[in-house]
């Protein structure tokens, strides 16, 4: 029966990177046989393999429960090999929760034990995992050193799939170091290793090549590689890889102006991201970690008390035989040994108490995070309502003019066509805002990407065509070829939309608005200049001050246009979010010029 259990576990390991259903089926068969054999050893190994499969699937809470159950049994059996496998799994869960320091401490301990066991493959696995953690901490040289050492240990087993896993991660590190040729070479080496290539490593390599193509703005190639990565990731069912692949596909479709597909993959990306970083799931993992730490803490206390009682008993016996000089040395050695044990237990007890405190603090942070998400949603509603106010006002104004008979019979068709165009533009603007808001649900942090600023501005000028025509304004846009800027596209659109709307609002009839550009080696400088009422010095200083908190007092426009005071606040906040610079040159009755500076996506050499 033991041979059958081992065979099912080997098959589950073989399928875990290829076919999740087959892997889980073999684990189920192995578990039934282990229950029939009533062997704690095999029951624990079933839990270890179950934890590994659920980690690959991204179900970190189920994985952690399995590893913890296995670890307890192997501790009782004094089986270091099984225990260190379970500890390695716990380190993977720390990695999935982005607790990189805790993961590193766990794998350092595993590496030390595997060295004593002489298990080179397990040592390579520990070094591989440590390399991932240091990469996430952006310590790329340390990461490469560990991954290189892991590859050397695997020279004795060239067919082991861990070779491809290491090469994939080395490619990712080189990508972060902007060593793109080396990254491409390593990804292609992985894809050419057909003898041992599995779907998990295949989707990682294809998605990595898609990220490199996106960096080069080769969006067709990024889409092609991204689709291959996505299709393979579906076979594995690994949520982390699915989130990574759909993120690249969403960006590629957006840059190719395939907006329905971009929205489709953005929604899928959000869903997989939520499945990985679900707040309730994280809290469940934290509670399990906390219970585990408390249980280990209680064990240490019991061991400490037992050691102290044993020390007392030995001390009494030694006192009674103190007169015997031959036993004096034994007493001193025993006392010294017990003292060391007590010091070790006290140190471990202190460490476990620190772990308990950290878990409590983390749960409090999760609760704070929920409150921040609610606040973010409220801000998004304010932004959406503010940016839709102006186009909706234009639509209402056109309808009122139509109903009040302002248009002659021969002009009514033109008026209806103008109304239709304004509604279509507002609908397009709403779709863009909702898409952007969907990406911002977790926070209002900037998500920078490379894009052409001139295209965004052309679209906004077209959107406000009715307002500019109704005031007979002359719009001058110096649209010329420029390098792409590096910023959050949605936030950039809201910045320009508010400043252009303000220029229309405060420019009198038959006035002029100019939009032009300047650049240097690292920045694009966008100028929005109007011939309007201008801004007094006090308002200008208030806007440029370090305070970001409240709204500015809204002013009435030249045609009695009203506002909420939120627009310039959004402009200021979003410019800061994108590490941009904003300047104002203005005098009363002489117009206002806003100068926005954003980083180029690719700095000139």
568 shares a domain with 521: yes
Tally of domains in the chain: 5
428 shares a domain with 307: yes
Lowest mean pLDDT among 93-102, 403-412, 584-593: 403-412
49 shares a domain with 131: no
Q: Distance of alpha carbon 342 from its chain centroid, rounded?
A: 43
Q: Does residue 349 carry a pLDDT above 70?
A: yes
255 shares a domain with 288: no
Highest mean pLDDT among 148-152, 281-285, 298-302, 494-498: 148-152
- For residue 121, give Cα distances in angstroms to 147, 160, 384, 604: 13, 9, 55, 45
33 shares a domain with 6: yes
Q: Distance of alpha carbon 166 from its chain centroid, rounded?
A: 22
Q: Does residue 292 carry a pLDDT above 70?
A: no
136 shares a domain with 254: no
270 shares a domain with 221: yes
| Structural domain of 380 | 279-442
553 shares a domain with 588: yes
More confident residue, 605 or 306: 306
Q: Does residue 281 carry a pLDDT above 80?
A: no
CA distance 173 to 303: 44
134 Cβ contact partners less than 8 Å away, ≥ 6 residues apart: 104, 140, 142, 143, 146
More confident residue, 555 or 39: 39
Highest mean pLDDT among 236-245, 403-412, 542-551, 581-590: 581-590
Q: Does residue 317 carry a pLDDT above 70?
A: no
424 Cβ contact partners less than 8 Å away, ≥ 6 residues apart: none
CA distance 316 to 437: 74
CATH number, domain of 23, equals 1.25.40
Q: Does residue 176 carry a pLDDT above 90?
A: yes
519: confidence class by pLDDT, cuts 50, 70, 90: very high
Which pLDDT tens digit goes with each residue over 208-263?
A: 999 999 999 999 999 999 999 999 888 877 777 888 889 999 899 989 988 888 88
**Average pLDDT of span 11-38:** 87
Q: Which of 277, 296, 324 is the last residue of a domain?
A: 277
595 shares a domain with 453: yes
% of the chain at pLDDT higher than 70: 73
pLDDT at 527: 95
CATH number, domain of 564, equals 3.30.565.10
More confident residue, 314 or 157: 157
429 shares a domain with 495: no
343 shares a domain with 251: no
pLDDT at 289: 54
More confident residue, 309 or 574: 574
Q: Which of 51, 75, 92 is the last residue of a domain?
A: 92
**Average pLDDT of span 556-566:** 56
Which contacts qualify for 330-334: CB closer than 8 Å, 24 or more apart? none
């Amino acid at each position: 029966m033991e041979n059958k259990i081992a065979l099912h576990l080997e098959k589950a390991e073989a399928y875990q990177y290829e076919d999740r259903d087959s892997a889980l089926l073999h684990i189920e068969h192995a578990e039934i046989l282990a229950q029939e054999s009533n062997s704690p050893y095999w029951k624990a190994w079933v839990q270890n393999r179950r934890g590994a499969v659920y980690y690959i699937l991204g179900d970190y809470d189920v994985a952690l429960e399995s590893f913890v159950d296995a670890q307890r049994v192997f501790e009782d059996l004094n089986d270091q090999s099984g225990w260190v496998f379970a500890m390695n799994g716990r380190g993977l869960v720390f990695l999935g929760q982005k607790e990189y320091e805790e993961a590193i401490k766990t794998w350092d301990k595993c590496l030390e034990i595997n060295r004593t066991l002489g298990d080179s493959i397990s040592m390579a696995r520990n070094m591989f995992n440590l390399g991932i953690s240091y990469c996430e901490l952006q310590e790329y040289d340390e990461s490469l050193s560990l991954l290189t050492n892991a590859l050397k240990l695997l020279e004795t087993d060239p067919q082991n799939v861990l070779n491809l896993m290491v090469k994939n991660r080395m490619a990712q590190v080189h990508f972060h170091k902007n060593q793109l040729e080396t990254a491409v070479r390593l990804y292609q080496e992985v894809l050419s290793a057909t003898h041992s290539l599995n779907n998990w490593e295949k989707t990682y390599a294809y998605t990595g090549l898609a990220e490199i193509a996106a960096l080069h703005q080769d969006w067709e190639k990024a889409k092609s590689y991204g689709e291959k990565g996505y299709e393979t990731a579906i076979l594995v069912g690994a949520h982390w890889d699915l989130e990574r692949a759909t993120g690249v596909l969403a960006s590629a479709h957006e840059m190719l102006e395939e907006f329905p597909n971009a929205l489709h993959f953005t929604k899928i990306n959000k869903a997989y991201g939520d499945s990985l970083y679900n707040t309730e799931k994280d809290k469940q993992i934290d509670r399990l970690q906390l219970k585990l730490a408390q249980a280990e803490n209680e064990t240490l206390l019991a061991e400490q008390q037992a050691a102290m009682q044993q020390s007392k008993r030995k001390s009494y016996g030694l006192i009674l035989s103190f007169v015997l000089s031959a036993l004096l040395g034994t007493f001193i050695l025993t006392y010294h040994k017990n003292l060391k044990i007590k010091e070790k237990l006290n140190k471990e007890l202190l460490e476990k108490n620190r772990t308990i405190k950290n878990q409590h603090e983390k749960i409090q942070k999760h609760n704070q995070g929920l409150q921040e998400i609610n606040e973010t949603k409220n801000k998004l509603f304010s932004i959406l309502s503010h940016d839709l106010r102006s186009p909706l006002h234009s639509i209402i104004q056109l309808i009122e003019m139509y109903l009040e008979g302002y248009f002659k019979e021969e002009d009514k068709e033109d008026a209806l066509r103008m109304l239709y165009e304004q509604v279509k533009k507002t609908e397009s603007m709403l779709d863009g805002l909702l898409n952007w808001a969907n990406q911002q649900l977790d926070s209002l942090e900037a998500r920078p990407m490379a894009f052409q600023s001139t295209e965004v501005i052309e679209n906004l000028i077209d959107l406000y065509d009715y307002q500019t025509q109704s005031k007979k304004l002359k719009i001058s846009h110096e649209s010329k070829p420029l390098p792409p800027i590096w910023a959050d596209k949605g936030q950039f659109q809201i910045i320009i939309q508010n400043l252009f709307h303000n220029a229309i609002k405060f420019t009198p009839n038959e006035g002029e608005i100019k939009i032009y550009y300047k650049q240097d080696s690292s920045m694009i400088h966008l100028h929005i200049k109007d011939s309007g009422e201008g801004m007094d010095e006090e308002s200008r200083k208030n806007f440029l001050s370090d305070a970001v908190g409240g709204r500015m007092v809204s002013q009435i426009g030249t045609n009695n246009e009203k506002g909420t005071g939120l627009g310039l606040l959004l402009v200021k906040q979003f410019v800061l979010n994108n590490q941009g610079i904003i300047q104002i040159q203005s005098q009363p009755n002489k117009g206002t010029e806003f100068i926005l500076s954003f980083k180029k996506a690719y700095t000139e050499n």
